[in-house]
Structure 1
Amino acid sequence: MADISFVRTEMLPEKTPPATSVGLIGWMRENLFSGWFNSILTVVSLGFIYYVLAGVLPWMFQSSWTANSLSQCREAISAAHGEGASGACWAVVRERYLQLIYGFYPDHLYWRPNIAFLLTLAALAPILFSALPRKMLWLAVVAPFAVPWLLWGGSAWLPLSAALGFVLGYGAFRGVSQLNGSLAAIIAGVAAPVLWWMLLAGPFAALVQSILPVGIEPVESRAFGGFMLSITIGVVAIVCSLPIGIVLALGRQSNLLIVRTLCIGFIEFVRGVPLITLLFVASTLLNIFMPPGTNFDIILRVMIMVTLFASAYMAEVIRGGLAALPKGQYEAADSLGLDYWKAQRLIIMPQALKISIPGIVSTFIGVFKDTTLVSIIGLLDPLGLSNAIRADANWNGIVWELYGFIALMFFIFCFSMSRYSMFLERKLQTGHR
């Protein structure tokens, strides 16, 4: 008797999916040819990509690496690929890549910026990747003092004197906190190192140097240039702007009128002024307000201005993360009996920073790219050096090769920061989409 039930009583055998729905064909059908409009866009895009690559790839590979001038490049390319052939003259990169990286830094001292760069990476690694041993964090304490000493050289007692300022600040904070409230302790902890650095650090280092001379060959700031200069300014601005931005964001939400007004005024003023204006202030006008005979290093001035500029934008990014938190998180901190700083450190700020990761990294990338603006005030960053190289009679007229190399280097750094941002977002992801 035939089974005429509406519910199947036996399992059907498994079948392989259609070939058009899996693998490369399935991916193309789903993403590139899912409809008539998507198919047209795919064909047009492929045609545009082919048109660009058909012009760029021959130019890139019909190139010369061994010439000593632009005219020799063109002669070598014509001899190899026929009269009238055009190609890239990568010989300029081969000849000037050290200058594009180190600027006019003495070539026998290249080991110092190399070690400084590796030390910076080693100091940032345990902060960026929690899987690394926590013992490596001591490098993050040493690097801020060792790296400038390696780059600029001079007396070894000057960075030690600068480090002593933090020790004095911590001692003042601890001592005042036992006598008065936390506000007085914070003021003492800030005032003590600032006064030390402004008045006593230099004479103390000079005195100890006269008794026990220890140091390395000094290098003037005018010798700095290329990617070494951009990385130095960018790293300092990136590392310092985040904590300053956090303080400004918290100050903007403070209940203290003076603190809130100062933070709002600083943020709105800096965000309303172009960075190039601040750089001109750092390079020209700032010396007018300094005491006569004061030698305020130009690179240090630029670092301060770029850091303050980045801090104002960072403060708004952090404030956006704070505003995104529900009110219940603040109430939860209050219900646990936590004071303001513990609540911020343990509950509020970790969540706000997690929310703000894309904006924070975007600000970092923008700051690093903005370091090219220092060429306008006379500092020879990679773009400034490219102009100097093209002023040479041998390379006069060469453009795309230099800009292509500089763009590639900036892309590597910026793309690495972007990938780390995505890694951090995946690592801290707690919800499900």
Structure 2
Amino acid sequence: MQENYVPYVREDFLESKPAPTGNRSAAGWMRRNLFATPFDSIVSVVFGVIVIWFVISTFDWLFINAVWMGGGRQVCATDVQGGIRADGWSGACWAYVGDYFTQFMVGSYPRDLLWRPILVALLFVALLVPMLIPSAPRKGLNAILLLIVLPIVAYILLLGGYFGMRHVETSLWGGLMVTLLLSFVGIVVSLPAGVLLALGRRSNMPIVKAACVGFIELVRGVPLITVLFMASVLLPLFLEPGNNIDKFVRALVGVSIFASAYMAEVIRGGLQAIPKGQYEGADSLGLSYGQKMTFIIMPQAIKLVIPGIVNTFIGMFKDTSLVSIINMYDLLGTVKASFGDASWQTPVTPLTGLIFAGFIYWLFCFGMSRYSAFVERRLDTGHKR
């Protein structure tokens, strides 16, 4: 150590500097994220021009130059001045969608009996909305009415033949009504069936485990079209003459079986993600197998795989369009069948119908996705994702 060491002590303080300003304006966000460097600026301008051009062109085709009223192909094959459209792409033909709207919703269901599907739709909304609201009371009663009573009432109302109501064959059903019926029944059946299959696959009983594994692998190994074809064509061959099963019921069975196999694997993934300590803790409390799964394991497993469950529901909702293989027409099948109407055959009619069907599919799928995100946030216990 040096003998003449003199410690340095500051006698004055540094001047205080102003705190950095937090620019949360739109211009500040654009400067940080879009125009931070010259390269970022060039890319942002190029893609911005492309996006703006696409949005303006799409909005112009869908709404500005679209045909909203009228009857027949002539209203969609002529421009606003009355001349024949050379390219046929001047605007969407929403008049065609308006003319076929009832067909898109219920198919060929008798028009004088439309009060039946309308009543079923109102009952469905009236029971579904309080079921989705967490603070709504009497969840148990609501679930029984929605999942058990409503399907029976809907079957009696839509099919008829009871209480003096006219019988309506399922071959006349179609449109969005068939899509919602197939997807709703598939969701109601696939979730509990998937839970049972997942538990059976993890069972210690060899026969139960082998049966569940065989069912899951067999169904997952074939496309849904094959399952529907087998349910519609091959199943009647194993029945006695005169004991035929309704074609719509066969479609319900096929969709439910297919969705249950995929749901079982989603639930099994959640069961495997539960720490072993949860099982041991439940055993140490003396809980039975049913109590352990009902109150400890299964709630945690389902919470972990909510995205996978909703993804399966969304996939099943869109896969209902495959029922056209058995001559049943859901929303997409009904839209495609309308293309053969010579009175509405124009270059813009098919695209307009497909855009309408795509918007309906997107609306329901986006709603399921947003509600699943809400449930995830509500059930979040503080774990960071």
TM-score after normalising by structure 1: 0.79
1:303-342 residue CA offsets vs partner (Å, 9 max, x unmatched): 1110110010000111111111111111111111111111
Distance (whole Å) between structure 2 residues aligned to residue 306 and residue 34 of structure 1: 51
Q: Kindly indicate which of the two structures has a greater share of residues assigned to helix.
A: 1
Q: Map residues 145-160 of structure 1 onto 2, 5 A cutoff.
A: 145-155=152-162
Deviations 1:212-257 (A, max 9, x none): xx34222110110000111110111011100000000000000000
Task: Find out whether 1:268 has 2:272 as its counterpart.
Answer: no
Does 2:145 correspond to 1:139? Answer: yes
Q: Would the aligned equivalents of 1:122 and 1:139 in 2 still touch at CA under 8 Å? A: no
Find the partner of 2:116 among 112, 119, 127: 112
The gaps in structure 1 that reach 5 residues or longer are 156-213
Change beyond 3 A, Cα 1:153–1:40: farther
Identify the residue that residue 97 of structure 2 maps to in structure 1. Answer: 93
2:194–2:264 contact (8 Å) kept in structure 1: yes
RMSD (CA atoms):
2.5
Indicate if the aligned counterparts of 1:279 and 1:302 stay in contact, CA closer than 8 A.
yes
Q: For the residues of structure 2 that align with 1:427 and 1:32, how far apart are their CA atoms? A: 34
Query: Separation in 1 of the partners of 2:253 and 2:115?
Result: 26
Give the partner amino acid of 1:154: G
Cα distance between partner residues in 2 of 1:29 and 1:109: 60
d(CA) in 2 for partners of 1:248 and 1:35? 55
Q: Tell me the residue number matched to 1:346.
A: 295
Q: CA deviation at 1:15?
A: 5.9
Q: Which residue of 1 aligns with 2:382?
A: 431
Q: CA deviation at 1:45?
A: 3.0
How many angstroms apart in 2 are the aligned matches of 1:92 and 1:430? 50
Assess if the C-alpha contact under 8 Å between 1:77 and 1:87 holds in 2: no
| Residue-by-residue CA offset, 1:327-372 (whole Å, 9 max, x unaligned) | 1111111111111111111110000000000000000000000001
> 1:42 aligned to 44, 51, 70, which one?
44
Of 30, 53, 59, the residue aligned with 1:57 is 59
In 2, Cα distance between equivalents of 1:7 and 1:431: 44
Query: Contact 1:74 / 1:86 at 8 angstroms: preserved in 2?
Result: no
Once the two structures are TM-superposed, the CA of residue 96 in structure 1 deviates from its matched residue by: 0.6
Q: In the TM superposition, what is the alpha-carbon distance from 1:44 to its structure 2 partner?
A: 3.7
The residue that corresponds to 2:359 in the other structure is 408
Asked if residue 72 in structure 1 is aligned to residue 75 in structure 2, the reply is: yes
Alpha-carbon distance change, 25 to 5 in structure 1, aligned in 2, over 3 angstroms: farther
In structure 2, the CA distance between the partners of 1:338 and 1:5, relative to structure 1 (3 Å rule), is farther
Bigger drift between 310-319 and 44-53 goes to: 44-53
Q: State the alpha-carbon separation in 1 of the partners of residues 206 and 40 from structure 2.
A: 56
1:215/1:82 CA distance change after superposition, 3 Å: closer
Distance 1:265 1:78, change over 3 A: farther
Judged with a 3 Å threshold, the aligned counterparts in structure 2 of structure 1 residues 283 and 82 are, in CA distance, closer, same or farther, namely: closer
CA contact (8 A) 1:125 1:132 kept: no
Residue 137 of structure 1, CA deviation = 4.1
Checking the alignment, whether the CA contact within 8 Å between 1:68 and 1:91 is kept in structure 2 is yes
Match for residue 368 of structure 1?
Answer: 317
Change (3 A) 1:376 1:30: farther
**Is the Cα–Cα contact under 8 Å of residues 310 and 363 in structure 1 kept in the other structure?**
yes
What one-letter code is carried by the residue in structure 2 that aligns with 1:403? L
- 1:143 CA drift (Å): 1.3
